[in-house]
A and B are shown apart, each in its own frame.
Chain A
Amino acid sequence: MSRSPSLPLKPEPAAGRAPEGDKIVVGVADLQVSRDPGKAIITYALGSCIGVTLYDPVAKVAGMLHFMLPESSVSAEKAAANPAMFGDAGLPILFEKVIAAGAKRERLVVCAAGGAEVLADDGHFRIGSRNRTILRKIFWKLNLLLAAEETGGQHSRTLTIRLSDGQITIRSQGKESVLWPR
């Protein structure tokens, strides 16, 4: 018989980073949702890609998507196989999955990191900034606002959300900072 993962089966983790074994890793073009308060969800090396977190502080449900490109129209075949590659296809799925896991739309805290750009892009590719634009467009449609973000620049970022309290940290250039709560 399975028990609901929303029950506090494990003691709350101590303040600071969750232990290594309690990390759920989101790969590139991947998404994960969890209700386990002992876990943290993490994604590494966000460059032009964007990492998005949705968190319900009451239900303690968190989801994270690591999408790579803004629009699925560049490869319908790849989008069908893995919608998490694309912002326009992956973001609605992330939203549906956290709602299905017990989160309520009105309580969702939305944060994002990544969307960096190569140097001297000259406006030709702008994958990072177009990823940021699609994020806003989809969340506008879903009637969600970003609570916090750290996007742009040229740096690579690692994004972590802790399930117990929703704390979001970003590690970049050897430094760690808290993105939410502010």
Chain B
Amino acid sequence: MASLNDTIAALDRLPALPATSLQLISMLAGGGRDADLREVERIVSRDEAVAASVLRRANSAALGMRGRVAGISDAIRRLGTRELCRIALETQTSGLLANAGRSYGLRRGALSQSALGGAIAADALARSHTDQGVKVDREIAFVAALLRDIGKLAIDAVAGPDALEAIAAAADTRPFLAYEREAFGADHAELGAILCERWSLPTAIIQAVRGHHEPPSSPVEPLTDVVHAADCVARWAGLGLGCDGLMYPFDSGARERLGTTRDELEALVADILAATAPEQTPGILAPGNTLRRSA
């Protein structure tokens, strides 16, 4: 067990999100104008892992394109700013999260896959919420969901071996965050928000990371509602399930505000599983494959 001071001190020892990711997020928060393409190109070309992902995606059959791309410049032109930003953020976040979640009993890569699954769900839910008249920026929803469990890195740093398993084994029906707060002085959602604050990310993203298990009802944060539901969808798809299992509630207020039906969410569960299957190129849903509304 650790004190709040120890836990906060552990944040200093964690790797940071690469500066290029922070630039991209700030660009997206500013509306992701076409004029930014040159800057995105520069970022993409300089990071080998990102460039490889961009080439893979550009060649992916999921995009329905004909012919292989000639090289990185061709790939960048074909994909466009928005998609390039997503790929870069996905790749860099995935690098940060690859070994995260050990204290929850997660295997390597499980938290990256869960981050991506939630991000894809958040995009679809943001679009659906916007269609109903509550504007939620899809790009920001994607990024916030991608980063929602970043605080688990801090729990990994302070939790002793098997500590969380022992906590989960003794747990009753309270949300898992309550046990994290007891054991470490703060839960992974709060710790994630503190990291996002340190990285000077937009306030809406910080709020969504902080509230992704407990979305506030007053004032309502539509982005947080979206990321909260996306997290539940990812859990139902079996993504990122460690010893904390399903010990998180689906907030009834958020559910009512989002107005999504069970069938819509279940269709999304099926979609994100297909989109994050290890044998496929991870990433976006195939074109036209969005949250279906029953009406």
Contacts and interface: CB of A to CB of B under 8 A. Distances in A.
Interface string A99-131: 000000000000000001111111011011000
Contacts of B262: 124-125
A4 interface: no
B56 interface: no
B267 A156 contact: no
A174 interface: yes
Contacts, number: 114
Contacts of B270: 68-69, 74-75, 78, 85
A131 B165 CA distance: 26
Interface in B172-194: 173, 175
A24 to B, nearest CB: 16
A151 interface: no
A164 interface: no
- Residue among B248, B249, B266, B267 having the largest count of chain A Cβ atoms under 10 Å: B266
A141 interface: no
B252 interface: yes
Nearest to B165: A174
Interface residues of B, number: 40
Given A29-B273, A47-B236, A75-B270, A154 B252 contact: no
B220 interface: no
Given A69-B270, A78-B270, A154 B247 contact: yes
A80 B242 CA distance: 30
A117 to B, nearest CB: 6
B238 A49 contact: yes
Contacts of A125: 236, 250, 262, 265
A158 to B, nearest CB: 9
B252 A122 contact: yes
Contact of B175 (A47, A66, A119, A175): A119
Nearest to B105: A174
A28 B273 contact: yes
B166 interface: yes
B271 interface: yes
A146 interface: no
Nearest to A28: B238
Nearest to A44: B107
A154 B255 contact: no
Contact of A68 (B168, B169, B236, B243): B236
B263 interface: yes
Contacts of A68: 236-238, 269-270, 273
A49 B270 CA distance: 12
B180 to A, nearest CB: 14
Interface in A8-55: 27-29, 44-49
B166 A174 contact: yes
A66 B238 CA distance: 10
A68 B239 CA distance: 11
Contacts of A66: 238
Given A28-B238, A119-B173, A156 B250 contact: no
Given A47-B238, A156-B241, 19 more contacts: A48-B235, A48-B246, A66-B238, A69-B270, A78-B271, A116-B245, A118-B236, A119-B173, A119-B175, A121-B249, A121-B250, A125-B236, A155-B243, A156-B245, A173-B165, A174-B166, A174-B168, A174-B243, A175-B169
Counting from the closest, the 8 A-B pairs by CB-CB distance are: A174-B165, A173-B169, A120-B249, A156-B245, A45-B241, A119-B249, A28-B238, A78-B270
Interface of A: 27-29, 44-49, 66, 68-69, 74-75, 78, 81-82, 85, 116-122, 124-125, 127-128, 153-156, 173-175
